[in-house]
């Protein structure tokens, strides 16, 4: 299992609850971008996440405002946000 550090595009970056609601309702519209220069990277939607991969999300902006953190993963074909 690998952790990948990412940010999430608006409007799903406002709160952890907004991210969770978006991943449940429309995972194909929740876009992530990698924040790491080296190692595992992920650019895509929640619906494109592979089983066994976990995204570590920092919001609302991983570079300037780290007010909340979340872990996004795909289990049993469903996107989970913790």
Q: pLDDT by residue (tens digit) across 19-62?
A: 999 999 999 999 999 998 888 899 999 999 999 889 999 999 99
pLDDT at 58: 94
pLDDT at 2: 67
Q: Please report where in the chains the tokens 């406002």 appear, as a residue.
A: 14
Give 3-state DSSP helix, strand, coil % of the chain, rounded to 5: 20, 45, 35
Q: How far apart are CA 77 and CA 34, in angstroms?
A: 22
pLDDT at 1: 55
Q: How far apart are CA 82 and CA 10, in angstroms?
A: 19
Contact 35, 4 (CB under 8 A): no
**pTM (whole model) above 0.95:** no
């Amino acid at each position: 299992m690998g952790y990948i550090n990412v940010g999430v595009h608006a409007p799903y970056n406002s709160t952890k609850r907004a991210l969770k609601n978006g991943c449940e309702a429309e995972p194909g519209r929740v876009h992530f971008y990698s924040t790491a220069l080296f190692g595992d990277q992920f650019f895509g939607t929640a619906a494109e996440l592979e089983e066994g991969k976990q995204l570590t999300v920092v919001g609302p902006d991983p570079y300037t405002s780290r007010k909340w953190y979340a872990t996004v993963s795909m289990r049993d074909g469903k996107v989970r946000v913790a």
